[in-house]
Chain A
């Protein structure tokens, strides 16, 4: 129900432009959803967006926690990296610096 109202503690956006899909973004998205369901994180929204413009870094995803100042953009993802990001960043609140491109300035991308 909270998902339908667009209210969540955290939001994960997977970039799914043609470049992203070619680099495996579909699999990344499915892993994200699987991991969230396994951990029963019902306050996390998952959505997809188009190409972020940095095609060589795909697959990419953006993690936006409601009370953090800026979202974090993760690059060159693999399923294992995704699982670690969800455990560390979403559940425990520590961004995984080595997988991050940079924090994204502003809230939209």
Chain B
């Protein structure tokens, strides 16, 4: 028996910040004080609060330690685990306050969340199936196999109102039912873990922290649609997720939870991992299935849906990681419980509401970046200010981009928007897989649109012309505008082209790629106009459109011509002698902004 468990986060973010060596140091220090029989060190999946990693939670008291360094460890072990005095200066302090918050459950970032998919995060070692079973893993599978028919499972999922978490929001129960009823020699169930959005890491963290929830969900789905073979299509760039999933599948096989005659109920089912090479388009259903077949990952026109003829022309059901991870909880706790969370009413119309929770990866200019799980219908304000802790450095909030590179920007005027499938689509964005990038006053919206479009343009597979050529031309126009060479007719052309690409592309990649452009044109048209008419970038971000100037009075009176800017200028663009006024040669200036950063007297301004 152990009196304390040290749950050290070993998600990708914390591992990258040396959490493994922190764990090793903890173990050595614990042995040094003879505490190894009382205090256990456990590595867990992503805790979610990535902004303050490497982090550790001490149970049963729930003490939260953040931003750990190896040198802090001897002090923690001696003071806290030996002497019982938690170390206050390593705890979380909210921005702008002085008093630390010892307990994880009291920290606002966690207090506003509702973990369902991530219910095991930070509580189990994902590489040990016994710990997952101790938290109830595979109970839902046992219930399904021993007491439910496939039709009953489908009915339960249908009445829960669960909709696809990968982006489209298609009702999962209907998808399963259609697939089950489609004739074919065999049926396949596939888990889409090809999470390609920049700044999104929900599926990655779900697999890293609780792989058995995903495996169990796939098994239940397989039983419901009548499949005996499941696939997980996961990108090879996710080494930790890949490794933990492989271990989990192997352990499930050893425990008889995968393989022949599961729970002695005559159900045979196994899962194969297929590694993707990282093409963004392979997250699209038909491209993903083509890739599993060994063909080039390109989408096809969907006159015939994949639930009828998908992988190897057999009925195939594709769901996202997060969708599957929800399934065991719905089976165990009931459709009624699940549909009590969220918005709308799904009792008569499967598209009538957004039920359950959604995992988002919160990134960009907020204080508390990380992985969060919140009930559907929460407002953007609650996410950004209550959980995210507001904007970094007290800057002004500008817009939030939801749904990955093909989502849209939502401006400050819509910050009280409830987050669900319909509301996000209405304002021109989308749920997507759950990326959420927050921007502040320093971000140029034209530049942001260009950034995301550059991503989708590069990831276009090239099969259909609107996407291949259209996004390229759109990007050219945005380049022109940010370089100060754009005209007002460019804005008209850009808008027309965006609508054309969105309407005529073969798959959702091209169909949604113009979203960042269209939403910024709609909500931040003034910024585009400033770029083309006045040749100015209001956020002072586009280099070609800004100039640095030295205020001669401040330079001389306050700084006495100190010359620090001149010493630091990499372009040699600053003229003037010490004790005299300095000036910037606009021709030579590379607009890097170093001079303005190093000036102690704020004499250099940008316009």
Of A44-52, A69-77, A88-96, A97-105, the one with at least 4 CB within 8 A of chain B? A44-52
- Does A46 lie within 8 Å of B59, measured CB to CB? no
Q: Which residues of A contact B134 (CB under 8 A)?
A: 1
Report B-chain residues with C-beta under 8 Å of the C-beta of A29: 3, 38
Find B60's partner among A8, A30, A36, A37 (CB 8 Å cutoff): A8
Q: Is A33 an interface residue (CB 8 A)?
A: yes
- Once the chains bind, are B1 and A50 in contact (CB under 8 Å)? no
Nearest B residue to A50 via CB reads B85
- Are B7 and A49 within 8 A (Cβ)? no
Q: Would you list which residues of chain B between 49 and 77 have a CB under 8 Å from chain A? A: 59-62
| A15–B82 alpha-carbon span in the complex (Å) | 10
B62 and A33 contact, CB distance less than 8 A = no
Least CB distance, B480 to chain A, in whole angstroms: 57
**Given contacts A1-B134, A5-B123, A48 and B84 within 8 Å (CB-CB):** yes
A1-B131, A36-B1 are known contacts. Are A15 and B84 too (CB-CB below 8 A)?
yes
Task: Give the CA-CA distance A18 to B84 in the complex, in Å.
Answer: 10
Q: Does B4 contact A (CB under 8 A)?
A: yes
For B123, the chain A residues whose CB sits under 8 A away are 1, 4-5
Asked if residues B4 and A50 are in contact (CB atoms below 8 Å), the reply is: no
Q: How far is the CA of A16 from the CA of B86 in the complex (A)?
A: 12
A105 CB to nearest chain B CB (Å): 21
Interface range for A: 20 to 34
A1 to chain B, nearest CB (A): 4
Tell me whether B85 and A47 are in contact (CB under 8 A).
no
Chain A residues in 8 Å Cβ range of B61: 6, 47
Residues of chain A with a CB closer than 8 A to B38's CB: 29-30, 33
Q: Are A33 and B60 in contact (CB under 8 A)?
A: no
Q: Is A17's CB within 8 Å of the partner chain B?
A: yes
A21 is an interface residue with CB less than 8 A from chain B: yes
Q: Could you say which of A4, A33, A46, A50 contacts B83, with CB atoms under 8 Å apart?
A: A50
- Asked if residues B1 and A49 are in contact (CB atoms below 8 Å), the reply is no
Bound Cα distance A47, B83 (Å)? 11
Do A48 and B5 touch (CB < 8 A)? no
Of the residues B3, B83, B135, contact of A17 by C-beta under 8 Å? B83
Distance of B404 from chain A, by nearest CB (Å): 33
Bound CA–CA A18/B79 (angstroms): 10
* A37-B135 CB under 8 A given contacts A16-B84, A45-B60: no
Q: Specify which chain B residues have a CB less than 8 angstroms from the CB of A50 in the assembled complex.
A: 83-85
Question: Measured between alpha carbons, how far is A101 from B311 in the docked complex, in Å?
Answer: 72
Residues of A within 8 A of B303 (CB): none
Taken residue by residue from 1 to 22, chain A's Cβ proximity to chain B (1 for < 8 Å, 0 otherwise) reads as 1011111100101111110010
A38 nearest in chain B by CB position: B1
Contact assessment for B60 and A6 in the assembled complex, using a CB-CB cutoff below 8 Å: yes
B83–A18 touching, CB < 8 Å = yes
> CB-defined interface of A53-69 with B at 8 Å, one 1/0 digit per residue?
00000000000000000
B83 and A21 form a contact (CB under 8 A): yes
Whether B2 lies near A3 (C-beta < 8 A) is yes
Q: What distance in Å separates the Cβ of A90 from its nearest Cβ neighbour in chain B?
A: 14
Partner of B59, one of A3, A42, A49: A3
Mask, B38-49, CB within 8 Å of A = 1, is 100010000000
Contacts of B1 in A (CB 8 A): 33, 36-37, 42
Range, interface on chain B: 20 to 34
Most buried by A among B1, B4, B5, B135: B1
Smallest CB-CB separation from A1: which chain B residue? B134
Are the CB atoms of A17 and B84 closer together than 8 Å?
yes
CA distance A21 to B35 in the complex (A): 14
Q: In this complex, what residue of A is CB-closest to B130?
A: A1
Known: A29-B38, A33-B1, A37-B1. A5 touches B83 (CB 8 A): no
**CB-nearest residue of chain A to B59:** A4
Nearest CB in chain B: distance from A81 CB, A: 19
Contact A4 B60 (CB under 8 A): yes
Contacts of B4 in A (CB 8 A): 47
When C-beta atoms are compared, the residue in chain A nearest to B34 turns out to be A26
- The chain A residue sitting closest to B3, CB to CB, is A46
Determine whether the beta carbon of A47 is less than 8 Å from that of B135: no
A81 to B84, CA, bound (A): 22
Chain B, Cβ-Cβ closest to A13: B84
**A5 to B260 alpha-carbon distance, docked (Å):** 35
- Min CB distance, B430 to chain A, in Å? 36
Q: Contact between B3 and A4 (Cβ–Cβ < 8 Å)?
A: no
Contact with A along B80-91 (1 / 0, CB 8 A): 011111000000
Q: Tell me how far the C-beta of A62 lies from the nearest C-beta in chain B, rounded to whole angstroms.
A: 11
Chain A residue at smallest Cβ distance from B58? A47
**Measured between C-beta atoms, what is the minimum distance from B105 to chain A in Å?**
9
Q: Which residues of A contact B60 (CB under 8 A)?
A: 3-8, 11, 45, 47
Residues from 489 to 547 in B contacting A, C-beta threshold 8 Å: none
Residues of A close to B82: CB separation below 8 A: 16, 21, 48
Contact B84 A1 (CB under 8 A): no
Shortest Cβ distance from residue B157 to the other chain A in the assembled complex, whole angstroms:
28
Report the nearest A residue to B81, measured CB to CB: A48
Q: Least Cβ distance of B45 to chain A in Å? A: 14
CB-nearest residue of chain A relative to B42? A4
Nearest CB of chain A from residue B100's CB, rounded to whole Å: 16
Q: How far is the CB of B58 from chain A (nearest CB, A)?
A: 9
* B contact residues around A30 at 8 Å (CB): 38
Give the shortest distance, in Å, between B62 (CB) and chain A (any CB). 5
CB distance from B209 to the nearest CB of A (A): 14
Min CB–CB distance B88 → chain A (angstroms): 12
Contact of B3 among A7, A18, A47 (CB under 8 A): A47
> In whole angstroms, what is the CA distance A45 to B1 when docked?
10
Name the CB-closest residue of B to A49.
B84
Q: Is the CB of B83 within 8 A of A6?
A: no
Chain B residues, CB < 8 A from A48: 3, 81-84
Query: Once the chains bind, are B84 and A3 in contact (CB under 8 Å)?
Result: no
The 20 listed contacts between A and B (C-beta, < 8 Å) are A1-B123, A1-B134, A3-B2, A4-B59, A4-B60, A5-B60, A6-B62, A8-B60, A13-B84, A14-B84, A15-B84, A17-B83, A18-B83, A29-B3, A30-B38, A45-B3, A46-B3, A47-B3, A48-B84, A50-B85
Extra inter-chain contacts (18) besides given A1-B131, A1-B135, A33-B3, CB under 8 Å: A1-B134, A3-B2, A3-B5, A3-B59, A3-B60, A6-B59, A6-B62, A16-B82, A16-B83, A21-B82, A29-B38, A37-B1, A42-B1, A47-B4, A48-B82, A48-B84, A50-B83, A50-B84
Q: Which 3 A-B pairs have the closest CB atoms?
A: A48-B84, A6-B60, A46-B3
